[in-house]
């Protein structure tokens, strides 16, 4: 079996140079030398001893990531499913692998503590953060490397990457205003939701900028479910006809589906009588009738940004940015049109 010495001899470089290439220390070798070593590795079929290399560097090359909770079979989170895939892809491109695990929702810290105590991982990526996230408090106190997909309302600072939901929803409302809508409602999440709060802020910002009055009864809050969308529209349809919204921005595509289903059951045609915008661009969004206008999160870019930042955190290198916001893209389909009467 070829050894690192054989690679060095084949490439015409020192063993130290081969080691630099294998450990991805790009600042210590030129791109030409790096390519020379990689070609030598390919020619002779060298396979590095990953276990020995990791023991020597005191790294596992594993990143801990807890699977998100799925409370009910009909509440699957397609965004976090895609995020997990692209996070793993970005980690592997950087020479890491994900170690996935689960934990009790109300008591996650013992699982994190066990993984740290047994030195199973080099760092953690968190997702599904909440306002006072006990995982973040625990990892900050433990001084263990981590980065978060999402923010939290804590006094202590920590590195995170997040979707700029405020900017995204503001753009969605501005689009509806450009179509001529003036009575625009929002099916939102409960007030304790961090990301939901930013999305509502974007809704409010757009109304203020357009000098449109804010009506508290135009924001209906509910959980992440199709039923929440149904209930929101059912309430708005109890208002006098001249006060009923002509457009709805939903906090997620699933909630938007509930709005669309309720509209159909009440004899309204989405994309004519009522305009609807979702958030996430779930796979089903383009196949609805009509196709759902929605905000697409930049999930692949988010995974790449997280891993790039996490490498610096692991290596104790300074971060160019402690916080990164990535705006979503407005995907326009047929669920929106100018209002018939407003």
pLDDT (tens digit per residue) in 121-162: 999 999 988 888 999 999 999 999 999 999 988 888 999 999
272 in Cβ contact with 241 (< 8 Å): no
Element (H, E) at 163: strand 160-163
pLDDT band, residue 48 (cuts 50/70/90) = low
Question: The whole model's pTM is what?
Answer: 0.80
pLDDT (tens digit per residue) in 59-74: 779 999 998 666 555 5
Domains of the chain: 4-48 (1.10.260.40), 62-163+298-328 (3.40.50.2300), 165-297 (3.40.50.2300)
Q: Following CA atoms 70, 71, 73, 78 in sequence, which dihedral angle do they give, to the nearest 10 degrees?
A: -40
Element (H, E) at 51: helix 50-57
pLDDT (tens digit per residue) in 155-203: 889 999 999 999 999 999 999 999 999 999 999 999 888 999 999 999 9
56 pLDDT higher than 80: no
Nearest of 221, 234, 228, 163 to residue 188 by alpha carbon:
221
Q: Following CA atoms 258, 259, 264, 270 in sequence, which dihedral angle do they give, to the nearest 10 degrees?
A: -130
Q: Which two tokens stand for residue 267?
A: 């004899």
Give the CA radius of gyration of the chain: 25
Nearest of 150, 68, 160, 144 to residue 112 by alpha carbon:
144
Contacts of 31 (CB under 8 A, 6+ apart): none
pLDDT band, residue 210 (cuts 50/70/90) = very high
């Amino acid at each position: 079996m070829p050894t690192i010495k054989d690679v060095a001899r084949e490439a015409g470089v020192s063993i130290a140079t081969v080691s630099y290439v294998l450990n991805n220390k790009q600042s210590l070798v030129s791109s030409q030398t790096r390519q020379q070593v990689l070609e030598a590795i390919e020619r002779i079929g060298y396979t590095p001893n990953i276990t020995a290399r990791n023991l020597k560097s005191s790294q596992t090359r594993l990143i801990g990531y807890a699977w998100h909770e799925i409370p009910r079979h009909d509440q699957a989170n397609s965004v976090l499913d895609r995020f997990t895939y692209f996070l793993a892809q970005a980690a592997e491109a950087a020479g890491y692998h994900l170690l996935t695990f689960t934990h009790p929702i109300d008591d996650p810290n013992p699982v994190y503590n066990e993984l740290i105590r047994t030195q199973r991982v080099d760092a953690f990526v968190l997702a599904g953060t909440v306002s006072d996230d006990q995982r973040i408090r625990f990892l900050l106190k433990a001084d263990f490397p981590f980065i978060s997909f999402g923010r939290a309302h804590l006094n202590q600072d920590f590195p995170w990457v997040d979707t700029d939901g405020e900017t995204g929803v503001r753009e969605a409302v501005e689009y509806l205003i450009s179509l001529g809508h003036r009575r625009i409602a929002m099916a939102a999440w409960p007030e304790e939701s961090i990301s939901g709060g930013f999305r509502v802020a974007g809704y409010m910002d757009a109304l203020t900028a357009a000098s449109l009055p804010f009506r508290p009864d135009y924001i209906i809050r509910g959980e992440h479910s199709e039923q929440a969308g149904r209930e929101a529209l059912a309430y708005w349809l109890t208002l006098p006809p001249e006060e009923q919204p002509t457009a709805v921005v939903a906090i997620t595509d699933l909630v938007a589906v509930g709005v669309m289903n309720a509209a159909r059951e009440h004899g309204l045609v989405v994309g004519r009588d009522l305009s609807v915008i979702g958030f996430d661009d779930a796979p089903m969004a383009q196949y609805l009738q009509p196709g759902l206008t929605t905000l697409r999160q930049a999930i692949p870019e988010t995974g790449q940004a997280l891993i790039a930042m996490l490498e610096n955190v692991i290596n104790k290198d300074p971060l160019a940015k402690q916080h990164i916001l990535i705006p979503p893209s407005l995907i326009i389909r047929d669920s929106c049109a100018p209002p018939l009467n407003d």
